[in-house]
Amino acid sequence: MRYEAPASLDAATRLLADAGGAARVLAGGTDLLIQMRADLVEPTVLVDVKNIAEMREIAEEGGRFRLGAAVTGMEIMEHEGFNAAWPGIVDGAKLIGSIQIRGGATRGGNLCNASPAADSVPALIAADAIARIIGPDGRRAAPVEDIATAPGRTSLAAGEIVVSFDLPEREPRSGDAYLRFTPRTEMDIAVVGVGVNLALDEAGMCVAARVALGAVAERALLVDEAAAALIGTRVDDAALAALSAAASAACRPIDDKRGTKEFRIEVAGVLAERAARIALERAEQG
């Protein structure tokens, strides 16, 4: 096996194309190295993307953030401007693994590993983040909700790299939040994860919302019906009850040792309401 650490996207794309599907992108390695050790994947070339400047920065222009796909959880947590604008995305970063894991694990890796329980993904979907992708056929963009398709599977073509995530301009009076339920307080996989992002007008009416659920289907789900329960309301108890019911109704979970289907469906409704209350509080402060 060969290890390469190119400093440019061009070089990385060429390395991946030349290896013809037998190469893997390496970011933090907190999923990939474990899978290699277990012989689940056997790449002939590892293309480490952590030296590629465009993938390693958090940039802001005109109120819009571009989050590099190889930025680590710790780097996100330490970025003041990003924390102020997108605290829900930071909630997801804070929950991943331990300090050591957060020091290496990236948003791109969390998304492209394609676990339905990935903690970064619901808040990115709720934020309406767009993934910027480069590959053998050039550059393209895709909503984050279209990247993971099933456990361990993505819509990326062979040799494609997620470069960064574009976030929309943050309006005043908007807020987001991510919550997950795990049987243990940390170092465990989400049984349910919920990201909520909403915006209020000056009168306190909800004018925009997006709600995403993790760990309750084969991939993270954008739930339009749950968002519709909030839009046009003051996010009052009736709206939150409707949101909760819509979130539960959207779940199509599995049973496993962490939770039954029925439990996941119920918890999704409860967490959606709690996450919406936090997003509302943040929007009111914003």
Ligand X SMILES: Cc1cc2nc3c(=O)[nH]c(=O)nc-3n(C[C@H](O)[C@H](O)[C@H](O)COP(=O)(O)OP(=O)(O)OC[C@H]3O[C@@H](n4cnc5c(N)ncnc54)[C@H](O)[C@@H]3O)c2cc1C
- Strands lying side by side in the sheet with 45-48: 2-4, 45-48, 23-26
23 binding ligand X? (CB under 6 A): no
Which residue in 39, 6, 3, 38 sits closest to 23, CA to CA?
3
With H, G, I as helix, E, B as strand and everything else as coil, classify residue 191. Answer: coil
User: Which of 69, 192, 227, 247 touches ligand X by CB under 6 A?
Assistant: 69
113 vs 248 by CB, closer to ligand X: 113
97 binding ligand X? (CB under 6 A): yes
| Stretch of 111-119, 166-174, 197-205, 271-279 contacting ligand X, by CB under 6 A | 111-119
* Residues 171-210: x where in contact with ligand X by CB under 6 A, - otherwise, as a string: ----------------x-----------------------
Q: Within the chain, where are the H helices?
A: 9-19, 32-37, 53-56, 73-77, 80-85, 87-95, 99-104, 107-112, 121-126, 224-228, 237-250, 261-285
Residues 277, 185: Cα–Cα separation, whole Å = 21
164 vs 197 by CB, closer to ligand X: 164
Please state the closest distance from residue 147 (CB atom) to ligand X, in A: 9
- Distances, alpha carbon 239 to alpha carbons 179, 196, 232, in Å: 19, 14, 9
Residues 107, 261: Cα–Cα separation, whole Å = 28
244 binding ligand X? (CB under 6 A): no
Which residue in 150, 128, 130 sits closest to 139, CA to CA?
130
Structure tokens at 59: 């940039």
162 vs 192 by CB, closer to ligand X: 162
User: Which of 106, 174, 244, 248 touches ligand X by CB under 6 A?
Assistant: 106
32 vs 76 by CB, closer to ligand X: 32
162 binding ligand X? (CB under 6 A): yes
CB half-sphere exposure, 41, CA atoms < 13 A: 19
135 binding ligand X? (CB under 6 A): no
186 vs 201 by CB, closer to ligand X: 186
Q: Which residue is nearest to ligand X (CB)?
A: 109
118 binding ligand X? (CB under 6 A): yes
**Number of residues that make up the chain:** 286
105 vs 280 by CB, closer to ligand X: 105
User: Which of 108, 116, 122, 175 touches ligand X by CB under 6 A?
Assistant: 108
Residues that bind ligand X (CB under 6 A): 24-32, 34, 49, 69, 95-97, 101, 104-106, 108-110, 112-113, 118-119, 161-162, 187
